[in-house]
Amino acid sequence: MSKVTPAYQLFNVGNGSPESLLDFVKAIENAIGLEANKNFSPMQPGDVSRTWADITDLEKLGYKSSVGMNEGVIKFVEWYRQFLNSKVKNDQIDRPT
């Protein structure tokens, strides 16, 4: 059986450093200026206390992260707000009928 080479490759993008979920939530809260309604429950099977992007494949291509989590979340929120506003202006948002 011959090996098929995929037409594309997926990469995890991040800073490669572990981040706690609570720190991520706080970064989002700070970026949007709202506090989340948090309901703390015991860890469930499969839950992880910390997570990070495995950027090994990107590093092989010379990638080096230059943006931390907090700055990255702020930039994403700014981009998303601009994206959403452009959709609203162009009436491309699905509205309930």
The 10s digit of each residue's pLDDT in 23-69 is 999 999 999 999 999 999 999 999 887 778 899 999 999 998 898 89
What are the helix and strand counts (H, E) for the chain? 3, 2
Question: Could you tell me if residue 6 is inside a domain?
Answer: no
Number of domains in the chain: 1
Alpha helices in the chain (DSSP H): 21-32, 56-60, 69-89
- Those residues whose C-beta lies under 8 Å from the C-beta of residue 70, and which sit 6 or more positions away, are 27, 30, 31
The 10s digit of each residue's pLDDT in 58-93 is 999 999 889 889 999 999 999 999 999 887 777 766
**CATH code, domain with 77:** 3.90.25.10
Q: Which residues pair with 50 in a beta bridge?
A: 20
Question: Could you tell me if residue 42 is inside a domain?
Answer: yes
Identify whether the C-beta of residue 14 lies closer than 8 Å to the C-beta of residue 66. no
Q: Is the pTM of this model over 0.75?
A: no
Question: Could you tell me if residue 4 is inside a domain?
Answer: no
For 70, the domain range is 19-89
Question: Could you tell me if residue 96 is inside a domain?
Answer: no
What span, in angstroms and rounded, lies between the C-alpha atoms of 66 and 17? 12
Single-letter code of the amino acid located at 55: I
Question: Could you tell me if residue 10 is inside a domain?
Answer: no
